[in-house]
Amino acid sequence: MIVTRFAPSPTGLLHLGHAYSALAAHEAASKAGGRFLLRIEDIDPGRCKPEFSLALMEDLRWLGLTWEEPVRFQSQHMADYTAALGRLQAMGLVYPCFCTRSEIQALAAPQENDVEGPVYPGACRHLAETARAALAADRPCVWRLDMARACAQAGDLVWHDARRGEVRADPARFGDVVLARKDVPTSYHLSVVVDDAQQGVSLVTRGEDLFAATDVHRLLQALLSLPTPRYRHHTLMRDASGRRYAKRDKALTLRALRQAGKTPQDVRSMVGFDPLPGRSGTPPTTSVA
């Protein structure tokens, strides 16, 4: 049975691009008689707000989507991520890194591939225990994956994308990615892998901006002995000038469209989806906060 999910981060209001992604995942589940889950990726306390979580659920319901309860909030599952990190620590595949952002920027070589941001140059990778202890006394640390060791341990890996077929994973180009941050004991990569496994997700539906990151996820699945879902990375919706929709496009949030009188049917057809079966297209009666 297909189990898929929509996993937004509550850092703003949902826009048309999110509507497309949520509808695509929902449709993949409903066409196959599968299950559709909602996961709120709210590990970042500085950027995620409970009011955006509430708003996004209301907007999705307005759009006509339903999902299985309970919704998984990542902020409530830190112990799961800590346990996964602990396994990698016990395997000797992660290390604490005390470098500041500016130290990394200064040392990192420019990137010539599809990886965003600087690749960590490795200063803390081989610190002696005494040096680590001295730094830990007055500097916070992140935990990084020792990518070379991890790749050597995992061997060749592949994963499957619905549009592109079999993909050979090349996580090494990401370098020693952060698995636990200074402010939160996890990272996007670690929590998404743990959650997809814990929720029994068999099909990850998400935008192709995350296509490259799947190589890292595949590696973490191998290291943590977790099952590998299948993936469907969909193209991203763009505006008339070819720009990706983003949270800054306030006029194209579902909230703004709804306040401007658009119906759920209008929004569904704006992103290329058929009307909901059995729905007339009349505006919802619920009031907008």
What residues from 33 to 62 belong to the interface with ligand GLU (CB under 6 A)?
Answer: 41
| 3 state SS for 34-96 | CEEEEEECCCCCCCCCHHHHHHHHHHHHHCCCCCCCCCEEHHHCHHHHHHHHHHHHHCCCEEE
Of the listed pieces 2-10, 126-134, 227-235, 246-254, which binds ligand GLU according to CB under 6 A? 2-10
Of the listed pieces 3-11, 57-65, 107-115, 176-184, which binds ligand GLU according to CB under 6 A? 3-11
Which pair of structure tokens corresponds to residue 103?
Answer: 């130290």
Of the listed pieces 5-13, 83-91, 124-132, 218-226, which binds ligand GLU according to CB under 6 A? 5-13
Q: With contacts defined by CB under 6 A, how many residues of the chain interact with ligand GLU? A: 7
Indicate the Cα dihedral angle 219, 222, 226, 232, nearest 10°.
50
Nearer to ligand GLU, 42 or 176 (CB): 42
In the complex, the smallest distance separating the C-beta of residue 274 from ligand GLU, rounded to whole angstroms, is 23
In the complex, the smallest distance separating the C-beta of residue 75 from ligand GLU, rounded to whole angstroms, is 13
* Distance linking the first and last C-alpha atoms of the chain: 37
What residues from 8 to 27 belong to the interface with ligand GLU (CB under 6 A)?
Answer: 8-9
In the complex, the smallest distance separating the C-beta of residue 221 from ligand GLU, rounded to whole angstroms, is 13
Distance CA 200, CA 198 (A): 5
Binding mask 192-231 for ligand GLU (x = CB under 6 A): x-------------x---x---------------------
Distance CA 6, CA 38 (A): 5
Distance CA 37, CA 167 (A): 25
Nearer to ligand GLU, 99 or 204 (CB): 204
Distance CA 7, CA 84 (A): 20
